[in-house]
Amino acid sequence: MLLYQEWARYGVFYKFQPIDLIRKYFGEKIGLYFAWLGLYTEFLIPSSVVGIFVFLYGCITIESDIPSKEMCDQRNAFTMCPLCDKFCDYWNLSSACATARASHLFDNPATVFFSIFMALWATMFLEQWKRLQMRLSYFWDLTGLEEEEYNTSIILKLTNLYISLQIMLTFSAVFGVIVYRITTAAALSFSTNETTRSNIRVTVTATAVIINLIVILILDEIYGAVAKWLTEIEVPKTEKAFEERLILKAFLLKFVNSYAPIFYVAFFKGRFVGRPGHYVYVFDGYRMEECAPGGCLMELCIQLSIIMLGKQLIQNNLFEIGIPKLKKLFRKLKDGRTEPKEMNTNQSKDPQQWDLDYSLEPFTGLTPEYMEMIIQFGFVTLFVASFPLAPLFALLNNIIEVRLDAKKFVTELRRPDTVRAKDIGIWYNILSGIGKLSVIINAFVIAVTSDFIPRLMYQYAYSQNGTMHGFVNHTLSYFNVSHLKAGTQPENSPFAQDILFCRFKDYREPPWSPNQYEFSKQYWAVLSARLAFVILFQNLVMFLSVLVDWMIPDIPKDISEQIKKEKSVLVDFFLKEEHEKLKLIESFITRDKHKHKSGTKDQRSRAASFCQFNQSQKGSVASFSSQHTEV
């Protein structure tokens, strides 16, 4: 089969997809999906390249980055306050050297540039998709298409209920993981084993992220099952508006499911810990969790990469290849057991095509495919400021994904009923919404989560000599250890006697100030700078996006010209034909009038052939005229 040869093999990953062939075999709706997927994958190439450069920039400048150097310098003995009550000891900041260096890979000035780039990239992608869609709908004659409408209000209410329940479930799962982290960290800190204690953070983070991932995967599967059931109970055609509302809600659900832990790490974790001597306690004596000493950005980055990669690897590749194969195997076994007699009757013949087709999985709609890609689009755009390699991973996944989906459609699913569709519907709105959201989220990630603004502020406002030397010292506040509440002091500290002050990461007044431990002036100044950056970034990117949107016309010029030309050709043709027909009729009438007995053979055959021609053209003209409406 041609489609298999040209499209559904991994060997052809470098080739463009044969979209027209796909459309002919599967119909417009699936054709549009693969066209969209292809464009998206193409667009991922430049962003991957830029992302790699940003990452490389981080790698190259890591040696010249003064703050991480200062942190790693053993001579700078910053004695940090204990990370938990009673069982944790004071610790030296240089022990967090590795994470600080790793942080720099993702948290450098190039990241700011990259997030602006990605915001414009998203706008550009949507514009180009509009153009491609216009082009396809022109060449595939989809412009006049309209959908029928049904009414399904009861099912809608049912869905609403279900979706609200699911969102609650998702939030409680995220909350549960946070509780797990806090309690486990506390429990492990009781341990007397030295190695366990030192690995607490790694253990807790890793297990928590993995639990998050598993929760996401399980909830996704539950969602998938219910969505399928919902689609089945109103067989087989759904009202378009209803389907769109269903998709929107399902998307919200998936969105919360996939991003809630990431949002938590990016914007909430470590912001409500209080301060030494006045920590915030939850659940009867557990301290709120702090970020790793390298900053929350590193943790965000780990969280993002594990969830994104894990989701892609497990869900797409394992589930999408593995499960259908297993099901096929299972079905074969079952068929083999229950129908052994029938098998005997046509044993000699080769199995018929329909028998083979029956052993394939039924087609259950494109929603899961789109959903998966849109969630990935979210990973690529929403938090790109903290993980510039996301586009690369997405690209690698998609190169496999396109052929995987293709293979699935060609070889593992029953051929679906061809469905006509003139656009990708609500998915476009969701994409555009994600694009808009990504601007403000990236602005906040750069301003609030990363250390970009404090560094700039230090260099240009507080530094003595305009360099970054002394930055680490500047970000650490002093705490008088005698102010620690009774019972929270480190129990088994070997050097507790020698320590008068410990340091913690915050801008607060020192113990010797009249307003001790209040937020310092620097805190408010840095906060102002952060917020000013958000305003500046958001408005700049929005302005540039409007500019890009405005400069790229929605309808490609060649298409709009062709439409114009065809319209005039159509009108000409139409008038000419009418004219000819009239002439023919008139000639008959004239002949009748002059009482000529019969037409010449020539005339008669001309009339007959014209009728035939007319018959065949009629349909095409009608479709033509309806095709050009709603351009």
Q: Which residues here bind its own copies, judged by CB under 8 A?
A: 146, 429, 436, 440, 519-521, 523-525, 527-528, 531-532, 534-535, 538-539, 546, 550, 564, 567, 570-571, 574-575, 578, 581-582, 584-586, 588-589, 592-593, 595, 597-599, 604, 607-608, 610-611, 614-615, 618, 622, 625-626, 628-631
Q: Give 319 or 523: the residue with its C-beta nearer to its own copies.
A: 523
Q: Give 264 or 519: the residue with its C-beta nearer to its own copies.
A: 519
Least distance from its own copies to the Cβ atom of residue 3, Å? 35
Q: Indicate the Cα dihedral angle 299, 301, 302, 305, nearest 10°.
A: 160
Q: Give 334 or 564: the residue with its C-beta nearer to its own copies.
A: 564
CA–CA separation, 102 and 56 (whole Å): 12
Q: For 487, phi and psi rounded to 5 degrees?
A: 90, -10
Least distance from its own copies to the Cβ atom of residue 508, Å? 12
Least distance from its own copies to the Cβ atom of residue 516, Å? 14
**What's the gap between Cα 5 and its chain centre?**
30
CA–CA separation, 249 and 188 (whole Å): 40
Q: Give 86 or 618: the residue with its C-beta nearer to its own copies.
A: 618
Q: Give 3 or 440: the residue with its C-beta nearer to its own copies.
A: 440
Contacts of 151 (CB under 8 A, 6+ apart): 239
Q: Give 218 or 546: the residue with its C-beta nearer to its own copies.
A: 546
Q: Give 66 or 531: the residue with its C-beta nearer to its own copies.
A: 531
Contacts of 448 (CB under 8 A, 6+ apart): 267, 530
Least distance from its own copies to the Cβ atom of residue 397, Å? 30
- List C-alpha distances in Å: 292 to 96, 113, 285: 8, 25, 21
Least distance from its own copies to the Cβ atom of residue 453, Å? 12
CA–CA separation, 66 and 76 (whole Å): 13
Q: Give 42 or 147: the residue with its C-beta nearer to its own copies.
A: 147
CA–CA separation, 283 and 285 (whole Å): 6
Nearest C-alpha neighbor of 424 from the set 126, 32, 154: 32
Least distance from its own copies to the Cβ atom of residue 108, Å? 25
Q: Which run of H or E residues covers position 533?
A: helix 521-551
**Are 445 and 533 spatial neighbours (Cβ–Cβ below 8 Å)?**
no
Least distance from its own copies to the Cβ atom of residue 552, Å? 15
Q: Give 49 or 585: the residue with its C-beta nearer to its own copies.
A: 585
Q: Give 143 or 317: the residue with its C-beta nearer to its own copies.
A: 143
Q: Which two tokens stand for residue 197?
A: 């204690």
**Are 508 and 477 spatial neighbours (Cβ–Cβ below 8 Å)?**
yes
**Are 295 and 107 spatial neighbours (Cβ–Cβ below 8 Å)?**
yes
Least distance from its own copies to the Cβ atom of residue 551, Å? 13
Give residue for tokens 């995967």: 217
Handedness of CA 559, 562, 568, 570 (dihedral sign): negative
Least distance from its own copies to the Cβ atom of residue 625, Å? 5
Neighbours of 334 (CB within 10 A): 10
Q: Which two tokens stand for residue 525?
A: 């100044």
Least distance from its own copies to the Cβ atom of residue 534, Å? 6
